[in-house]
Copies of this chain bind each other. A is one copy, B any other.
């Protein structure tokens, strides 16, 4: 992963707007891009989504490409993927309809957790089960591998799966006021745990 925290000082290529506000907005897009990149998407997805989320009007791919100073081909591909994930929506169903951001991103995060994280934990769990079985078969003396360590890790994968299952079913409040209370409860609870 490349950390792109510094803003770019390169000369813009063409119709890229350079007024104070646009520059600031582009910085936000870059920051969201870096953030989202860390979570398994590509930076360009976050940049496009952030721009659409901040724009008052729907935007075409050309407008997005110009604003973000990237090629139209890059926007085209990324937009198709955003659409697939339901993170972006065309404002009509004809070809050239401009796009808006879908602000409620939780369903997508939930999908990502289900799709990737679950698979990773599950394959670790299966591998551990296989290894435990193999240890019990073998009659190494002295034993090369610690079966109780394996059982510990196996238990950890099961715990992780429990967590993921719960997270996947979690309903995060959509509105900010609801979220505030939700956050407060959760924070208080976690702080209690921190004191253990």
Which residue of B3, B20, B127 contacts A30 across the interface (Cβ within 8 Å)? B127
A62 within 8 A of B: no
Give Cα A152 to B25, complex, Å.
15
**B183 and A159 within 8 A (CB):** yes
Q: Which residues of A contact B (CB under 8 A)?
A: 1, 3, 5, 19-21, 23-25, 27-28, 30-32, 34-35, 38, 40, 53-57, 103, 116-117, 119-121, 123-124, 126-128, 130-131, 133-135, 137-138, 140, 142-146, 149-150, 152-153, 155, 159, 162-163, 166-167, 169-171, 173, 176, 178-179, 182-183, 185-187, 189-191, 193-196
Give Cα A64 to B190, complex, Å.
39
**A144 and B57 within 8 A (CB):** yes
Give Cα A146 to B59, complex, Å.
14
Give Cα A28 to B20, complex, Å.
53
**B56 and A144 within 8 A (CB):** yes
Main secondary structure, interface of A, reads: helix
**A187 and B166 within 8 A (CB):** yes
User: Given A120-B35, A124-B35, A166-B187, does the pair A130, B24 have CB atoms closer than 8 Å?
Assistant: yes
| Nearest-Cβ distance from residue A115 to partner chain B, whole angstroms | 10
**A130 and B194 within 8 A (CB):** no
Which residue of B31, B145, B155, B169 contacts A54 across the interface (Cβ within 8 Å)? B145
In the complex, what residues of B have CB within 8 A of residue A1's CB? Answer: 40
Give Cα A27 to B173, complex, Å.
40
| Nearest-Cβ distance from residue A171 to partner chain B, whole angstroms | 6
A-B contact pairs, 10 of them (CB 8 A): A5-B123, A23-B134, A25-B145, A28-B128, A31-B127, A53-B149, A54-B149, A56-B146, A163-B187, A166-B187
